[in-house]
Amino acid sequence: MVMILRLLGRRLAALPLMILGITLLVFLVLQAAPGDQASSALGEGASEAAKQQYRQDNGLNDPLFIQYFRFLGRLVHLDLGVTTPPSKSVASMIASAFPLTLQLTFLGVIIAVVLSLVFGIIGALYRDKWQDQLVRIFSIAAIATPSFWLGILLIQWFALGDNPMFPSGGIATPESGFGGWLNSMALPALALGIPVSASLIRVVRTSMVEELDRDYVRTAIGNGVPYREVVSRNVLRNALVTPVTVLGLRVGYLLGGAVVIEMIFALPGMGQLILNGITNLDVNLVQGVVLTISVTFVLVNIVVDLLYLLINPRIRTV
């Protein structure tokens, strides 16, 4: 427990520096983006005087470092600014859209974890047999399939035709209950989770094979411990260390992929916000969305580090 608290303290202490670096990178990239914020806000038909007045009122004529520190000052108070006309609070828009993105990402993680464990374990236990070959074919095909293309295929297969099994887009109303929500999220979650599961399958299989070849497995079996018990109690737990680490790194892909999948399935999440922000050159909106996703990715990796300690007790004594 002391080791876990120590690691958590180090990660939380470094979190402000990480967030500061993220804010600086996002700010500089968006400032270098082509286009004029005044023209996007007022329209191309606006007079030059009106555009100049807009830049003056919003501090766009100030030096970049002043604009950056002004942005940091607002961020300390959780103020992400307002969108270009019609003016809306960016924080409130993100608070409304982000839960849906988290739900989609969570379902994608569940699908990726279940598929990777099932197929990875099968591939390791039946290595070089026909079951293992089928697992390899599936993982290679899934890796080569982009999530957005898989989403389009899933819509064609299961959401179109005379008897569609799932809706082609949109989110279920609260009146539909959990079943309606899960029905509307099934295809997007599959499109998001299957490609990620492919890389995890290979990691799980490799880790399981390495553990199965270790001396303690042969010793335990030689002492009469049932093979199934050795695999479930020892091999699987030891083999999960590397896949958990890889999964933490893939969460960033899942969050980014969720943004794309949301646009394909017309889900009102962060994908819709960032698309509107880029289309309208709304710097505040794009900054808020990218910053929220980036900070979430950092926090998830802190959780993964803690899980790493829980799964591998030997590290706690190092």
Q: In this predicted model, what pLDDT tens digit does every residue of 250-299 receive, in sequence order?
A: 877 788 788 888 888 988 888 888 888 887 778 888 888 888 888 888 88
What is the reported pTM? 0.83
- Tens of pLDDT, residue by residue, the chain (318 residues): 666 677 677 777 777 888 888 888 888 887 777 777 777 777 767 788 888 888 888 787 788 888 888 888 888 888 888 887 677 888 899 999 899 988 998 999 899 999 999 999 999 989 889 999 999 999 999 888 888 899 999 999 888 877 788 888 888 877 778 888 888 899 999 999 998 888 899 899 998 988 888 888 888 888 888 888 888 888 888 888 778 778 877 877 788 788 888 888 988 888 888 888 887 778 888 888 888 888 888 888 788 777 777 766 555 544
Per-residue three-class SS string for 44-73 = CCCCHHHHHHHHHHCCCCCCHHHHHHHHHH
The backbone region for 128, taken as left when phi is positive above 0, alpha when psi lies in -120 to 50, beta otherwise, is: left
Q: Which one, of 240, 287, 257, 272, lies nearest residue 98 by Cα?
A: 272
